[in-house]
Amino acid sequence: MPILATIDPVTTAAVLAVFLLGGIVKGALGFGLPLTAMAILPFLISVEAALAINALILVATNVAQFVQMRQMRETVLRFAPVLWGIAIGVAGGTAMVSLFSDDALLVTLGGAVVGFTALSVAAPNLRLPPAGERPFGFLAGISGGVLMPLTTVGGPMYVMYLVGLSVDRRVFLSAVSLFLLVSSVLIVGAFIIVGMFDGERLLLAALALPAAIAGMSAGNRLGARLPAARFRMLVLGILGVLGLNLLWRGLSGG
C-alpha cells in the first residue's frame, strides 16, 4: 500500500515541485510562497488540503527565514507594535467573520494594494516619516490581523508597511517573516480547531518542507545579488500582481 493512500506519486512529486518554486520566490523576496502555491495546488489536490499543507509550510519556512536573518531580538523590539496589532486584529477579525462579504473585502484589499504599488512606483521617494513607524506599524498589524481570519490574506499590509519604511533587504526579510510567522501560527491553530489536518496531509507537508527550504536557500542567494533599488522594484512588482489577483478573486466571486 502506498504511503499516501489517496495521492499518487506523480501528484506528490508535482506538489513538491510547487513548494520548491514557492520557496525560491520566498527566499528571494521574503514573501510570495502562499501566492505561488495556492495558484497551482488546487489543480493537484483539494483546496482544503492545499490550505492545510500551505499553513504548516508557512510556519516552518517563516521560522527558518526569521532565524536565518539573525536579527530576532532587534526585530521583535523594533516591531513590537505590529505584533500587538496582529494579535488584536486576529481577535477582532474572528469576531467579525459573519459581518462582511469575502468578495467585498478582497476587492477593497486588492484596490488598496494596487493603488499603493502604483503610487510607490510613481513616487519612489515617498516614505513614512520616522515618527510614524510605531503608530503606522500598529495599524498595519491590526489591518493585516483582521484580514487573516476574514480572507486568509494579510501579508500585503505588512509588505506595504515595510516598503513605506524603506528598510534594507535584511531588515525586510526578518520583519516580514516574523509578521507572517505570528499570523500563520494563528491560522494553524484555527485549522486544528476545525479539523483540517489528518495523517496524510501532515505527511505530505513533511515531504514538501525540504523542497520549500531548498527553494528558499536558492532564492536567498539570488535575492542577495540584487541591488537595493532593484529589490524594491521587484517587491513592488510582485505586490502589484498579488493586488490584481485579489481584485480578480473578489470581482469573480472567489
Q: What is the pLDDT of residues 185-233, one digit of tens each?
A: 988 887 888 788 888 899 999 999 999 999 999 999 988 888 888 888 8
- At 5 the pLDDT is 65
Q: What is the pLDDT of residues 169-178, one digit of tens each?
A: 899 999 999 9
pLDDT exceeds cutoff 70 at 151: no
Is residue 207 within 8 A of residue 45, CB to CB? The reply is: no
pLDDT exceeds cutoff 60 at 3: no
For residue 18, CA distances in Å to 34, 59, 206, 212, 232 come to 10, 17, 14, 8, 25
pLDDT exceeds cutoff 80 at 105: no
- At 195 the pLDDT is 86
pLDDT exceeds cutoff 90 at 247: no
Q: 241 vs 176, which has greater pLDDT? A: 176
Highest mean pLDDT among 117-131, 137-151, 156-170, 235-249: 156-170
Mean pLDDT taken over the chain? 86
pLDDT exceeds cutoff 80 at 84: yes
- At 126 the pLDDT is 73
pLDDT exceeds cutoff 60 at 1: no
Residue with the three cell numbers 517573516:
177
pTM for the predicted model, two decimal places: 0.83
HSE on the CB side for 197, CA within 13 Å? Answer: 17
- At 50 the pLDDT is 86
**102 falls in which pLDDT band (50, 70, 90)?**
low
Distance CA 126, CA 230 (A): 16
Q: Backbone dihedral region of 45: left (phi > 0), alpha (psi from -120 to 50 degrees) or beta?
A: beta
- At 97 the pLDDT is 63
**4 falls in which pLDDT band (50, 70, 90)?**
low
Cell numbers standing for residue 73:
531580538
Is residue 58 within 8 A of residue 46, CB to CB? The reply is: no
Q: What is the pLDDT of residues 106-138, one digit of tens each?
A: 787 788 788 878 877 777 777 889 899 999 999
